[in-house]
Each structure stands twice: as structure tokens, then as C-alpha cells.
């Protein structure tokens, strides 16, 4: 398993729309293993393939306290979202150190393939529902800061570009 580099906002590759996975084969399973290793190494609770510059519809999540309940979603789609919404602070491995309020459906049902290629429908609420929606946004080329006001988004963009410049120096 490899730890892969995570793209940082405002990298334009974060805005590419991911393509469906055609087959859950050894290559995809190896990628899933690398994504899980990368997510755990970065102390995240979710990672979309888009964030590692792989533009396929793959998400890994683990919201468990012990960090031992990995969830793999291949070609995920929301089949139901609750009309009830919640605003909660979100962060992102691609926007390190930035947290802000985003409105999301309080509960969702998501259909996806698992790491073995089996179709599953998962019902989620709370943190898991938020994480699923956040990561699936990545697959559509959307980063959570795009839910914020243009002023906040520009401040974050400026801050991220400055941090990236300083890291290269």
C-alpha cells in the first residue's frame, strides 16, 4: 500500500468530474487499499479518488472512533436525501486547516458497489451522511468551499496559495 499525494485547493484537477468504474478488478482494489492508507495517514475520515488525481468514481470513508471500519463506495449515487437539512462545520484533506459551515441533507440512502463489486444500499445519517455527500461532491468536481460566499472562498484561495508557495521555498 502506498501513501499517495493529495491535491490541494485551488488545484484545477479537483474540478474534474470522475468517470464511472467499469469493473471492480485487482487494479481498483489496489487503488482502494492505497486510498485507505492515504486517508488514515492524513487523519481524514473520507477521501475521494479525485483528491489523489484519479478521476474515477471511488470513495473511501471511516468515521469510526477506532478507525477500523472502512467503507468503500464505488460508483456511488444518492437514491434518497432527507428534506431535513443541517449545517455543520466541514473540513477537507484538500483544504487543510480550513473549516466552515455547509448545509447538507440530514440523512441519505446511497447505492454503490463495495470493494468486491457487490451492489449495496446504505442508509446514513449524522457524520456518515455528511461525509458521503462531501466525498461524492468531489467526484462531481466540487470542493466544499464552493458552498461558501465568494468573499470567504477568495480568502481561502489566497491563504492556500500562500501556504503552497511557502512550502516550496
Known catalytic residues are 135
Please check if 109 is assigned to a binding site: no
Closest by CA to 71, choosing from 142, 8, 123, is 123
Please check if 131 is assigned to a binding site: no
**Size (the chain), residues:** 169
CA distance 121 to 123: 7
CA 55 to chain centre: 12
* Alpha carbons within 13 A on the beta-carbon side of 69: 5
CA distance 129 to 168: 36
CA distance 99 to 120: 31
CA distance 63 to 79: 21
Please check if 86 is assigned to a binding site: no
Q: What is the distance in angstroms between the CA of the first residue and the CA of the last residue of the chain?
A: 30
CA distance 76 to 80: 12
Task: List, as residue ranges, the binding site for Fe cation.
Answer: 92, 134, 138
Amino acid at each position: 500500500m502506498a501513501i499517495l499525494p493529495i491535491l490541494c485547493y485551488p488545484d484545477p484537477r479537483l474540478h474534474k468530474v470522475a468517470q464511472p468504474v467499469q469493473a471492480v478488478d485487482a487494479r481498483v482494489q489496489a487503488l482502494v487499499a492505497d486510498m485507505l492508507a492515504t486517508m488514515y495517514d492524513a487523519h481524514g475520515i473520507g477521501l475521494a479518488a479525485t483528491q489523489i488525481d484519479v478521476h474515477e468514481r471511488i470513495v473511501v470513508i471511516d468515521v469510526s472512533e477506532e478507525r477500523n471500519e472502512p467503507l468503500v463506495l464505488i460508483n456511488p449515487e444518492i437514491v434518497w436525501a432527507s428534506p431535513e437539512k443541517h449545517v455543520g462545520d466541514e473540513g477537507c484533506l484538500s483544504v487543510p486547516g480550513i473549516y466552515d459551515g455547509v448545509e447538507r441533507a440530514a440523512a441519505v440512502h446511497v447505492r454503490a458497489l463495495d470493494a468486491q463489486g457487490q451492489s449495496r444500499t446504505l442508509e446514513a445519517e449524522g457524520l456518515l451522511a455528511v461525509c458521503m455527500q462531501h466525498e461524492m461532491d468531489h467526484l462531481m468536481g466540487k470542493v466544499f468551499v464552493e458552498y461558501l460566499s465568494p468573499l470567504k472562498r477568495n480568502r481561502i484561495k489566497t491563504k492556500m496559495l500562500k501556504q503552497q508557495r511557502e512550502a516550496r521555498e
